[in-house]
Amino acid sequence: MLEDDIKENDNQKDEHGAEQTEKVAKKTPRRRRRPPVKKQAMAGSWPKVAVAAIILCLLFAGLSISMFAGSSTDVTVPLIQDISISDVVESGATITWRTSEPATSQVTACNSDNCTSTKTNESLLLSHTVALTNIQPNTRYQLTISSKNKQGKEAKIKLDLNLNAKTTVVVGSRIGDLAPDFTLPTVGSSALSLSQFRGKLVMVNFFETTCPACEEETAYIQEIYDVWPADKLEILAVSVGQRAQFVQSFLDSRGLTFPTLLDNDEAVKNLYNVSSYPTTFFINSDGIIKIIKSGRFNSSSEIDTILKAL
């Protein structure tokens, strides 16, 4: 009897334990809370932003290039060369010339009383011919030959004409020739023309910054530039085929202040038939080449002596 009670009690414990186990099994376990995930707001839009940035960079680069290209042509003018005067008669003559690029043709003839202008063609040409008429004999005229390219940039060159003298003016690079006019940008981006200094002496010095002889003579040229009056002498140093920043560094490191022009495409160097550096042309107040110096100067007094002889 006692054994039966013990077994029954054990059975009740087993049933009770089973019920507790079943309740525990049915009880929903508590989930561990995970930290909130941060949303990447830019993840979806990043490709669009990147594409937009690239497009803006390309547009800006294109704008910069076009602005640079436009500015580089601001100072480009046609070169006037091979001028000749023919068919000279008592009251007229024919003026011919060539330009380095297509341009218009115009000649202005002025005497002490008045000026007359003759336009032959507004078309853009490489070879130009102008017939001057109604020119008074035994009268000195100053002729201004001008040609304007399609960008509206105009080159001018001046020469004298006296029909009584029966002389032919030759524009060239030899001694006795009328120095060819040119316009070039300076290191500071402005532009200078040879013809604007008519009436005073001009030194045109062709050089390269990598030329030792050129470097050695710069101090002597600077001395002359500092001593001679500005209304008597102009010095134009022409850097051939070199970039502006290199030329500017060359000038700054040596304290050089005389005007320096950039002949990047070597057009003026070829116009003057320069074959070695340095080469210096001495031009008188009438625009005539009087002396050509090949090689370096040995002193500022050497330059001074040449200038006083012009």
The one-character DSSP state at 133 is -
- As given in the structure block, the two tokens for residue 64 are 């910069």
- When pLDDT is averaged across residues 69-98 and rounded to a whole number, the result is 70
pLDDT at residue 207 above 90? yes
Mean pLDDT of 228-254: 95
Q: What is the mean pLDDT of residues 88-108?
A: 83
pLDDT for position 119: 62
How far apart (Å, rounded) are the C-alpha atoms in residues 139 and 130? 19
- The Cα–Cα gap between 235 and 201 comes to 9
Per-residue pLDDT at 67 exceeds 60: no
The answer to which of 107-116, 195-204, 235-244 has the lowest mean pLDDT is 107-116
The pLDDT, as a whole number, for residue 65 is 45
Phi-psi domain of 131 (left: phi exceeds 0; alpha: psi -120 through 50; beta: other): beta
pLDDT in tens, 102-151: 999 888 888 877 877 676 678 888 988 888 877 777 777 888 888 999 98
Mean pLDDT, to the nearest integer, of 250-278?
95
Q: Which residue reads 């390269």 in tokens? A: 208
| First CA to last CA distance, the chain | 155
Q: Which residues pair with 186 in a beta bridge?
A: 261
**Average pLDDT over every residue of 173-201:** 91
At residue 282, does pLDDT exceed 70? yes
Token readout for 158 is 């001046």
Model pLDDT, residue 19: 53
Note whether 172 and 180 are within 8 A (CB).
yes
pLDDT surpassing 50 at residue 71: no
Of the candidates 219, 203, 5, 181, the residue with the CA atom closest to the CA atom of residue 98: 181
The answer to whether domain 172-310 has CATH 3.40.30.10 is yes
CATH code linked to domain 88-169: 2.60.40.10
pLDDT at 53: 59
**CA dist., res. 84 & res. 220, Å (int):** 37
Give me the mean pLDDT over the 233-241 stretch: 96
What is the pTM assigned to this prediction?
0.56
Residue in the structure block whose two tokens are 């042509």: 73
8 Å CB contact between 248 and 214: no
Domains 88-169 and 172-310 belong to one CATH topology: no
pLDDT recorded at residue 240: 96
Provide the β-strand partners of residue 171.
Answer: 178
Per-domain boundaries in the chain: 88-169, 172-310
Of all residues in the chain, the percent with pLDDT exceeding 70 is: 70
Lowest mean pLDDT among 64-78, 132-146, 173-187, 268-282: 64-78
Q: Are 295 and 271 in contact (CB under 8 A)?
A: no
Neighbours of 158 (CB within 10 A): 17
Q: What is the CA angle 173-177-178, rounded to 5?
A: 95
Which pLDDT score, from 0 to 100, does residue 257 have? 95
CA 87-92-96 angle, to 5 degrees, is 55
Q: What is the pLDDT of residue 16?
A: 52
